[in-house]
Amino acid sequence: MATSPLPTATASASKKRRSRGGTLALDEVKKLGTELLSSRSHLNHAPALLALLSPTAPLDLALEALISLQSFFVPLIPSIPSASAAANAGDAGSDPELVFGAWLRQRFDELVAALVELSVSPHSDDAIRDVALDALMDFVKLGKDGKFHSAIYHKFLYAVVHAADPVDMLLELLVSKYFKYTDIRYFTYTSLDKIANSLGSKTTGSGKDALQNGSDESKNRSSIFIHNIYNLLAHVPLMDFQKESTFDMWSTVGEYFIICVISVLTLDFWFCTSDEGLSSKGENDSSKDTSTYINKKLKLKFTKAWLSFLKLPLPLDVYKEVKMFLP
C-alpha cells in the first residue's frame, strides 16, 4: 500500500519518533487507524497497531493505536463469535463472513491480552495504564448484548493476582473508578474465590504443601500472589448487607441483569422470569425484596472469597494485616 509523504514541517519530529518506535511515525499510526476504520480492505492494519500496545512502546504511538483499535472493535462486539465458533470457522471453507469472524475473534483476544498487560505492567506509563484499564472495562461492560463479560474480567484479575511487581497504582484506579459498582464487586468476589481455590489446590496431594515446601523462589512467588489477593479483597469497599438498598451497576443491562445472572449461577431460575421485571414464584417483588436478595447473594460471595483466601498459607505480614482489617 502506497503512503503519501509526510509534511516537511514534521520531518524532523517524525524522524525522531521513527527512531524511537522502530518502524512507524505518529502520523503513520494515525493514518493506519483512520484507514482501519474506513474499510475492511485495511484490516491488515490491525496487527501493526496491536504491535504498538506494549508497555515499552513510545507513549504517543501506543495511545494512538489503542484509541483506534478501541474505536474499531466496539461496534463489532456483537459480531465477534465465541472462541469455539471461531475455531470451527476453518471447517466452513471459504465463507468470507465466517473467516472474518474468526479473524475478528483472534484479534480481539490479542487486544484484550494487550490491555491487560498495559494495565498491570509496572513498566506502563500512568497515562497508558489509565486509558488501557478504561478500554478493558468498557469491553467488560459491553460484553454480549450489554451483559457483564465475566470471562474478560476474570482474565484481568488473574493477571493482577499473578503480577510479580506492586500494583498499587492499579488498585487506586479500581477503587476510584470501578469498585463502587455492585456487579463489579460481585464478579470480583467470584473470580477471587476461584483464583484462591486454584492456588490453594497446590497445597493438596501427595501429602506435600507446594506453597510451603517448595523452593525459595516458588514460596516467594506464592507469597506475592497471596498478598495480591488480599490487596484486592481489602480494596473492595465493605457493604452493610443489612441496610444497602441502592445498587449502581457497571453493565449496561443494569440491576435486572445482575439478579438474573446471580439467579442462574445459583440455579434460582424462578427469580428471573420475564423482561418486564423481577418476579419471585410468580409474584412481583418489591424493591425491598430485590435489595434483600441482592444483599444476600453479595454477602455469600463476599464470605466465600474471604474464606477461600483465609485457607491459604498466609505469610506472616499478610496475616498481621488481615487481623487488623477484619472486624
Could you tell me how far CA 48 lies from the centroid of its own chain? 23
- Residue type for 252, please? T
Taking residues 85-97, report their average pLDDT. Answer: 73
Burial of 39: CB neighbours in 10 Å, binned 0-12, 13-18, 19+: exposed
* pLDDT surpasses 70 at 177: yes
Pair 80, 20: CB distance under 8 Å: no
Taking residues 225-245, report their average pLDDT. Answer: 85
* pLDDT surpasses 80 at 314: yes
Cα gap 192→179, rounded to integer Å: 14
Max alpha carbon distance in the chain (Å)?
Answer: 73
Strand partners, 229: none
Taking residues 115-136, report their average pLDDT. Answer: 98
Taking residues 74-82, report their average pLDDT. Answer: 91
Pair 186, 298: CB distance under 8 Å: yes
Q: What is the model's pTM? A: 0.82
Three-state SS at 174: helix
State the average pLDDT for the chain. 81
pLDDT band at 277 (very low <50, low <70, confident <90, very high): very low
Cα gap 305→194, rounded to integer Å: 8
pLDDT of residue 87: 80
Pair 42, 35: CB distance under 8 Å: yes
Q: What is the pLDDT of residues 56-69, one digit of tens each?
A: 999 999 999 999 99
Cα gap 126→123, rounded to integer Å: 9
pLDDT band at 145 (very low <50, low <70, confident <90, very high): confident
Cα gap 219→214, rounded to integer Å: 6
Pair 182, 298: CB distance under 8 Å: yes
Burial 89-118 (b: 16+ CB within 10 A, else e): beeeeeeeebebbbebbebbebbbebbbbb
* pLDDT surpasses 80 at 11: no
Cα gap 37→46, rounded to integer Å: 10
Length of the chain: 327
* pLDDT surpasses 50 at 13: no
Query: Taking the C-alpha atoms of 200, 201, 203 and 204 in order, what is their torsion angle to the nearest 10 degrees?
Result: 140
* pLDDT surpasses 90 at 220: no
Which one-letter DSSP state was computed for residue 23? S
Cα gap 196→188, rounded to integer Å: 12
Strands of the chain, DSSP E: 279-280, 283-284
Percent over 70 (pLDDT), the chain:
72
- Residue type for 201, please? S
Cα gap 29→245, rounded to integer Å: 48
Q: What is the pLDDT of residues 180-219, one digit of tens each?
A: 999 999 999 999 999 999 998 875 544 345 555 555 667 7
Pair 68, 33: CB distance under 8 Å: yes
Cα gap 47→254, rounded to integer Å: 34
